C-alpha cells in the first residue's frame, strides 16, 4: 500500500550555469512529499498495527534528514564560483549547505530520496518516490525506478 507524507521548507539556492534568472541567488518554499510503498503491518497489538509506517515516524525521518539540515538555509554546489564567499559566510555562522551537484529540484529530489531511503531501510520499509515542488506549478519526482536506472546523458551516476 502507498502512503505519503509532506513537509515544507524554505531554502535559497542558485543554479550557476542557468541561461536565465535562476543563476541569481534566490529562494523557494519547497514542498517535499515522500511516498512509501510497503505492506500493512498486521502484528496484533502492535502500535503500528494497520499501518505501513506511522505518519509521525515518517515525518520525524523527513524532519531529521531534510528540514533540520535544509530549512532556512542556502544550498549550493561546491563548483559554484561564489563558493569561497559562501564558505566564509558559513564560518561566520550562516546556514550554508555545500553539495556535489547543482541544486535543481531534480537533483534535490534524488538526494533527499537517498537520505530517506537509508533511514527507511533500517526499518525494513520501501520508499517509492520523493516529489519536490519548487513552485506551486513545478515539480520533480524521483522514483524507485529512477534510482535503479537513471544516469544523465554523458555522465556517470550523479554522486551525492
Name the catalytic one among 22, 28, 33, 147: 22
Give dist(CA 75, CA 96) in Å, integer: 6
Catalytic residue list contains 134: yes
Q: In the Cβ-directed half-sphere of 68, how many Cα atoms lie within 13 Å?
A: 8
Element spanning 99, H or E: strand 96-99
Name the catalytic one among 65, 106, 117, 134: 134
Name the catalytic one among 49, 72, 88, 145: 72
Q: How far is CA 55 from CA 5, 42, 158, in A?
A: 7, 16, 30
Residue with cell 534510482: 147
Question: Torsion angle of alpha carbons 10, 38, 129, 55, nearest 10°?
Answer: -10
Q: Angle 55-62/105-121 helices, nearest 10 degrees?
A: 120
Catalytic residue list contains 8: no
Give dist(CA 139, CA 52) in Å, integer: 25
Give dist(CA 139, CA 103) in Å, integer: 14
Catalytic residue list contains 159: no
Q: Active-site positions?
A: 22, 72, 134
Amino acid at each position: 500500500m502507498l502512503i505519503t507524507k509532506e513537509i515544507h521548507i524554505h531554502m535559497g539556492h542558485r543554479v550557476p550555469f542557468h541561461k536565465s534568472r535562476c543563476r541569481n541567488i534566490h529562494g523557494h518554499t519547497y514542498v517535499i512529499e515522500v511516498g512509501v510503498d510497503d505492506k500493512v503491518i498486521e502484528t496484533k497489538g502492535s502500535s503500528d498495527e494497520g499501518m505501513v509506517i506511522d505518519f509521525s515516524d515518517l515525518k520525524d525521518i523527513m524532519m531529521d534528514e531534510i528540514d533540520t539540515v535544509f530549512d532556512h538555509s542556502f544550498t549550493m554546489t561546491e563548483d559554484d564560483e561564489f563558493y569561497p564567499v559562501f564558505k566564509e559566510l558559513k564560518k561566520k555562522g550562516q546556514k550554508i549547505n555545500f553539495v556535489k551537484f547543482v541544486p535543481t529540484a531534480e537533483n534535490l529530489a534524488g538526494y533527499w530520496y537517498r537520505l530517506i531511503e537509508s533511514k527507511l531501510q533500517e526499518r525494513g520499509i520501501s520508499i517509492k518516490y520523493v516529489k519536490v515542488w519548487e513552485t506551486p506549478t513545478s515539480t520533480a519526482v524521483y522514483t524507485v525506478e529512477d534510482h535503479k536506472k537513471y544516469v544523465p546523458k554523458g555522465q556517470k551516476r550523479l554522486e551525492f
